[in-house]
Amino acid sequence: MKNVQSTWKALKTASAVPQSQLLSDIIDEAEAIVVGIGAGMSAATGFTYIGKRFTDAFPDFIEKYRFFDMLQASLFEFENMQEYWAFQSRFSLLNYFDQPVGQAYLDLKNKLDKKNYHIITTNADNAFYAAKYDMDKVFRIQGEYGLWQCKDHCHQQTYQYEKLIRQMAKEQ
């Protein structure tokens, strides 16, 4: 703890040292680390809800509803369950089942290697799985795009049924 405190004191006095280097030094010295991660981490590695990634995956929904991004579309009340599941199946494939590993996640994993760490994230994508993190150390406060629950919320059980999601996307 003393070393971390001395590093923070150095932060206040050594403005010429890049913040990224100071953060790296603090991580190196820390005995335990809690990391908070939000959407910026996935966006930094290219998993955005806008632009080409969005327009390539949802051109029909964009044309019909004039959606600006995946977030807007994911919160939309579709006309029927067929449209809802058409969108959700593609969304789940793109942001969970088929999401490739992201370099920012690999870099962080490498930095945390051999450290006592825990991650708290609002991200529901597949980035931590794809980078092969120890998922016992990752708390996903907003769930996962690949998990489903009964529509009546009659129990806490969640289900992952990739085969059904792929079938729904294929049969559109």
The model carries a pTM of 0.83
pLDDT band at 112 (very low <50, low <70, confident <90, very high): very high
88 located within any domain:
yes
* Same domain (yes/no): 94, 65: yes
pLDDT tens, position by position, 137-153: 999 999 999 998 888 88
Going by C-alpha positions, the residue among 87, 131, 88, 92 that lies closest to residue 112 is: 131
pLDDT band at 136 (very low <50, low <70, confident <90, very high): very high
122 Cβ contact list (under 8 Å, min separation 6): 37, 38, 39, 141, 142
* Same domain (yes/no): 75, 42: no
What range defines the domain where residue 76 resides? 48-98+146-172
14 located within any domain:
no
Q: Which residues pair with 32 in a beta bridge?
A: 116
Q: What's the rounded Cα separation, in Å, for the pair 41 and 39?
A: 5
